[in-house]
Amino acid sequence: MKVAIIGSGYVGLVAAACFAELGNDVICVDNDAAKLAALQAGCTPIHEQYLPELLARHRGTRLAFSASVTDAVRASAVVFIAVGTPPAESGEADLSYVEAVAHDIAQGLNGYKVIIEKSTVPVYTCEWIRRVITMNTPQAFDVVSNPEFLREGTAVRDFFYPDRIVVGADSPRAAEVLRRLYAPLTSGAYYQAAMVARPEGARVPPPLVVTDSNSAELIKHASNAFLAMKISFINAVANLCDAVGADVQQVREGIGLDLRIGRSFFNPGLGYGGSCFPKDLLAFRAVARESGYDFGLLTEVIKINQEQRRLFIKKIRSALWTLRGKRLGVLGLAFKGGTDDIRESPAMEIVKALVGESCDVCVYDPAATANARACLGDSVRYANTPYEAATGAHALLILTDWDEFSGLDFAQLAAVMKHRLIIDGRNLYDPSTVAASGFMYYSIGRPVAQPEPRLSTVPAARPSTPQGAEHTAQARPEEVSAPQG
Ligand code: UGA
């Protein structure tokens, strides 16, 4: 099928590459000349697994880039709108880009086409697009909502292995076009030679759910809001665990084994960030408000999320006493592992707060350093490895759940750090393992783990004294790394 995709951000570019992989001829449009030139020259502007390979495979054959919406629309049977919907001051999504694109699409219509809304938008957006196009052209067309559920970092995998494909079509003709477009996935044919291995538990072939367009738009917002609610819920439980001395990992396991609840998206941490959840929750709440419904639950979800970062700073303070002048190694700046995206990143907010408290901060991130540097400038130091970030530090903070950070070499850290203290905002470690390596370990919703005094510090011959008392009394303070200023 001939496909036009307007907007080459995360959603548009991944969709363009993946639809090309499914055998379609795709034109990807963007009005950012520098970005287009980079894409045409073979660059991949975002850090996304499998995307460089897909772009290299299809660029110049099934995948072209263009600055002209009208030309792309003329050449295509389906047109995806995948432009940004940033939040306005009120929290509502700013739909001016979508409206402008709808105008341009109308200019290019030269026969029946299906216009597919893929940006995350409030309910009734399809109706508005329909109205704008109708006012600007006599040509026949349909508007469909086809929300995406891709996660940054695993977007290509999520495209090929979705839990479901939602098609919000108000006409059978348009629904049929979308069914054909997704047939390689829904028939299972694509999986015979898929470039991305099937993830554990993936639903293959995925179900395609046809709804009306208003319902599809709500499905997208409600899905993100529900996931954000799960995260805020477990973070609130973690805070309670901190207060009563319980272990949130055990509590999570006990709750999550209930199949009705489940364990996914139930990891406590620093709260959700990124370009989607924070913005979408505000937009969803604004949609509800505008429709006369006060969705107060969302306000609480947002409040818990914001508080989570503040509580983490408090935890750092409780571990270090005073912050001014403390040297801190920071692992992670991206809003989550696997991406270079720092938008609404809890890590960035925490780093800025620590700089504001006059801490000497040295940061390391496997992919997001360039983006962070543009924002943090020389207010922090930048390291090339986790160990460089930790060198001379009073404490090491883990702020992003990169895989690389769950396999740190504690002996190497101990050799370079000033104090053996780790404050983990992502619960990447088993506390007893860290403590056994001689570190004091703070995490989220779990008791602080203290290192045992090391046997080597105990004088050999004095067997009459009770062992526990002996160890405590004889351990040299520097061996157990008391976290002082
Ligand atoms: C999210 C949704 O997961 C996608 O389904 C959706 O398509 C996308 O938004 C969108 O609307 O475009 P994304 O923002 O890429 O995807 O990231 P997630 O993996 O959902 O993570 C969001 C935030 O929640 C991250 O900061 C992450 O660290 C945090 N998180 C996630 C937790 O704190 N705990 C968890 O258990 C899971």
Q: Which residue owns the Cα nearest ligand 1 atom 17?
A: 151
Question: Does position 464 have pLDDT exceeding 80, yes or no?
Answer: no
> Which residue, by CA, sits nearest to atom 12 of ligand 1?
276
For residue 187, the model assigns a pLDDT of: 97
| C-alpha 272 – ligand 1 centre gap (Å) | 7
* Ligand 1 center to 160 CA (angstroms): 18
> What is the CA(228)–ligand 1 centre distance, in A?
8
**What is the distance in A from the centroid of ligand 1 to the CA of 268?**
13
Answer with the one of 162, 182, 211 that is the final residue of a domain.
211
User: Average pLDDT of 259-277?
Assistant: 96
> What was the pLDDT predicted at 401?
98
In this prediction, what percent of the chain has a pLDDT beyond 70?
93
CA of 278 to the centre of ligand 1 (A): 10
Residue 8 has pLDDT above 90, yes or no: yes
For 327-337, the pLDDT digits (tens) are 999 999 999 99
Active-site residue numbers?
276
Query: Which of 152, 336, 348 maximizes ligand 1 atoms within 8 Å of its Cβ, making it the mutation to test the pocket?
Result: 336
Please indicate, yes or no, if residue 193 is contained in any of the structural domains. Answer: yes
Same domain, 167 and 300: no
Mean of pLDDT values over 209-213: 97
Q: What is the mean pLDDT of residues 411-421?
A: 98
pLDDT of residue 454: 53
Query: Which range marks the domain in which residue 422 is found?
Result: 212-460+476-485
Residue 57 maps to a domain: yes
Confidence of residue 477 (pLDDT cuts 50, 70, 90): very low
Residue to mutate, 119, 120, 150, 341, ligand 1, most ligand atoms under 8 Å from C-beta: 150
We report the CATH number of the domain holding residue 192 as: 3.40.50.720
Ligand 1 residue neighbourhood (C-beta within 6 Å):
120, 148-152, 224, 227, 231, 265-267, 269, 272-274, 276-277, 280, 335-336
Which range among 150-154, 164-168, 228-232 shows the weakest confidence by mean pLDDT? 150-154
Asked if the structure places residue 120 within a domain, the reply is yes
- pTM of the entire predicted model: 0.90
Last residue of a domain, one of 191, 211, 231: 211
Residues 266 and 363 in one domain: yes
Average model confidence (pLDDT) across the chain: 92
Predicted pLDDT at 258: 97
Nearest CA to ligand 1 atom 31: 265
Q: Does 207 share its domain with 302?
A: no
Indicate if 158 and 207 belong to the same structural domain. yes
**What is the tally of structural domains in the chain?**
2
Q: How far is the CA of 265 from the centre of ligand 1 (A)?
A: 8
Indicate if 113 and 85 belong to the same structural domain.
yes
Which residue lies with its CA nearest to atom 34 of ligand 1? 267
| 299 and 177 belong to one structural domain | no
Compute the average pLDDT of residues 407-417: 98
pLDDT tens digits, 101-137: 999 999 999 999 999 999 888 888 999 999 999 999 9
465 inside domain: no
Inform me whether the pLDDT recorded for 472 exceeds 50: no
| Mean pLDDT confidence for 299-314 | 98
Does 154 share its domain with 247? no
Q: Are residues 227 and 346 in the same domain?
A: yes
Same domain, 171 and 300: no
- Mean pLDDT of all residues in 138-154: 96
pLDDT at 266: 97
Give per-residue pLDDT as tens, 64-111.
Answer: 999 999 999 999 999 999 998 888 887 788 889 999 999 999 999 999
Pocket test for ligand 1, best of 276, 284, 343 (most atoms within 8 A of CB): 276
Which atom of ligand 1 is the closest one to the Cα of 223?
5
Asked whether the predicted pLDDT for residue 485 surpasses 80, the reply is no
The residue among 211, 246, 266 that closes a domain is: 211
Give the pLDDT of residue 120. 84
Mutational pocket test of ligand 1: of 224, 249, 264, the residue with most ligand atoms within 8 Å of the beta carbon: 224
Sheet containing 440-442, strands listed edge to edge, beginning at the edge strand earlier in sequence? 381-382, 360-364, 327-331, 395-398, 421-424, 440-442
Instruction: Please check whether residues 150 and 254 belong to one and the same domain.
Output: no
Statement to judge: residues 263 and 199 lie in one domain: no
pLDDT of residue 86: 84
Q: Looking at residue 460, what is its pLDDT?
A: 38
Average pLDDT over residues 466-470: 34
Residue nearest to atom 5 of ligand 1 (CA): 149
Q: From ligand 1's centre to the CA of 294, what distance in Å?
A: 24
304, pLDDT greater than 70: yes
Q: Quick one: 195 and 220 in the same domain?
A: no
Nearest residue (by CA) to ligand 1, atom 29, is: 272
pLDDT in the model for residue 89: 80
